[in-house]
């Protein structure tokens, strides 16, 4: 689920949020400050996280960690996958012990 849907309603909501000061202008956003491979800090500005409706701490390139599934079905799927993975691991260990 990459970019938010660029619908007309979405554009309008962002425009209104910018005018109301909820979304700060780019030149007043904090720096990303992620450590780059050549050891300097990222000078790009932080993003506004539309899905969570607050400032993100990193730029569009660095993003930061995913906070995991958000929908009920996604959470359920993640837990099922976790249980399945653990069962497989336990089975493999039991086989190796023989
Ligand atoms: Zn960055």
| Span from the CA of 74 to the centroid of ligand 1 (angstroms) | 28
Residue of 55, 30, 31 lying closest to 41 (CA atoms) = 31
Higher pLDDT, 86 or 32: 86
**What does residue 5 show for φ and ψ, rounded to 5 degrees?**
-65, 130
| Span from the CA of 45 to the centroid of ligand 1 (angstroms) | 7
Task: Please give the C-alpha separations between residue 49 and each of 2, 3, 4, 82, in angstroms, as whole numbers.
Answer: 12, 10, 10, 28
For the range 82-88, what are the long-range contacts, defined as Cβ-Cβ under 8 Å and sequence gap of 24 or more? none
pTM of the model: 0.38
pLDDT one-digit tens code per residue, 1-46: 445 556 888 788 878 878 877 676 676 777 777 777 788 878 777 7
Same structural domain, 61 and 72: no
Q: Which two tokens stand for residue 94?
A: 């039991």
Region 43-71: mean pLDDT is 70
| Span from the CA of 34 to the centroid of ligand 1 (angstroms) | 5
pLDDT one-digit tens code per residue, 40-54: 878 777 776 666 666
Contact indicator for 44, 60 with CB cutoff of 8 Å: yes
| Beta bridge pairs of residue 48 | 55
Domain that includes residue 73, residue range:
68-98
Which residues have beta carbons under 5 A from ligand 1 (an ion)?
A: 32, 34, 42, 44, 59, 61-62
Same structural domain, 72 and 52: no
Number of domains observed in the structure of the chain: 2
Same structural domain, 58 and 15: yes
């Amino acid at each position: 689920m990459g970019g938010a849907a660029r619908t007309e309603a979405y554009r309008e909501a962002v425009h209104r949020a910018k005018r109301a000061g909820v979304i700060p202008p780019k030149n007043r956003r904090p720096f990303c400050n992620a450590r780059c491979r050549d050891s300097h800090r990222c000078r790009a500005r932080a993003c506004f996280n539309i899905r969570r409706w607050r400032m993100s701490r990193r730029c569009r390139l660095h993003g930061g960690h995913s906070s995991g599934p958000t929908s009920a079905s996604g959470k359920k799927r993640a837990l099922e996958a976790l249980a399945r993975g653990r069962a497989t691991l336990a089975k493999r260990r039991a086989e190796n012990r023989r």
